[in-house]
Amino acid sequence: MPEKVEKYLPVCVSLGPGDPELVTLKALRTLQKVEIIYCPATQSDGKTLSRAKDILDEIGIDTQKIRIFLVPMSKDRTLAEKVYSDIASEIAECYQTGRSVAFVAEGDSGFYSSVHYISDKLEEMDIAVQHIAGVPAFIACGALAGIHVVKQDERLSVFPSGTSAEEIMMEVEAGKSVVLMKLSQQKDTIKKAVEILSEAQFHYFENVGIAQKEFYTNNRNEIIQRLFPYFSLLIVKKD
């Protein structure tokens, strides 16, 4: 009779927006405890970039147990999905053989994070996944600016892409707070909104949580002149 293998459920650990100090106690404890950590990265100009790996390094996680996987950056999601499937299979094997394993996401894994697909694939294989919540980027942005993102009965709309200046205006005039993400994909829309929406406050952020790179302004002219890099975000509210 084969020896019974003790099994550990895989854990999906959210790391927060970038500041290693915004990692939760639960995330840190889990990452210290597990044997293997799968960590996403991208490649650009031959360089491997991973904000998640940076956070793991900064909180002192043993590099030996970190397994980097590259996620293709493409509008066509087929390639990325293949990678997530492969990693899910590797994690499933860890689970079957009794090795404790985590996989990590920047921000929160359930909030616009593609790492969550690994979890979906594991669930399809009938392997339950534990999720550890993290601080999403827009919440860290609000804290940096010291603003109420939303208060009392205010409503919030989050638009990751594909909006128009007119739509942003309608939402703000209806009294909603609007979070705009993926600004690099909708530069013209954003600039037009900043121009036409005179009775709103615009809070613009870049690289929140990244030491030396963090930037915040609520000055319209400054916003219009920014380049809207990958990690940029806007919070718009009625004055």
Question: What are the residues binding its own copies (CB under 8 A)?
Answer: 14, 16-17, 19-26, 28-29, 59, 108-114, 116, 119-120, 123, 128-129, 131-136, 139-140, 142-144, 146-162
Between 32 and 225, whose beta carbon lies closer to its own copies?
A: 32
- Is residue 105 within 8 Å of 14, Cβ to Cβ? yes
- Compute the least distance from the CB of residue 47 to its own copies, in Å: 26
Between 59 and 83, whose beta carbon lies closer to its own copies?
A: 59
- Compute the least distance from the CB of residue 10 to its own copies, in Å: 11
- Compute the least distance from the CB of residue 45 to its own copies, in Å: 26
- Compute the least distance from the CB of residue 174 to its own copies, in Å: 11
What is the biggest distance separating any 2 CA atoms in the chain, rounded to whole angstroms? 75
Between 62 and 120, whose beta carbon lies closer to its own copies?
A: 120
CB count, 10 Å around CB of 20? 17
Length of the chain: 239
- Compute the least distance from the CB of residue 230 to its own copies, in Å: 16
- Compute the least distance from the CB of residue 46 to its own copies, in Å: 28
Nearest-CA neighbor of 138 among 46, 216, 55, 30? Answer: 216
CA dist 136 and 109 (Å) reads 9
Which three-class secondary structure state does DSSP give residue 6?
coil
Paired tokens of 166? 């007119």
- Concatenated DSSP letters of 191-233: HHHHHH-TTEEEEEEESTTSTTT-EEE--HHHHHHS---TTEE
CA dist 231 and 239 (Å) reads 25
Bridging pattern class, strands 101-105 and 130-132: unpaired
Between 67 and 155, whose beta carbon lies closer to its own copies?
A: 155
Between 45 and 153, whose beta carbon lies closer to its own copies?
A: 153
Between 46 and 208, whose beta carbon lies closer to its own copies?
A: 208
CA dist 167 and 122 (Å) reads 38
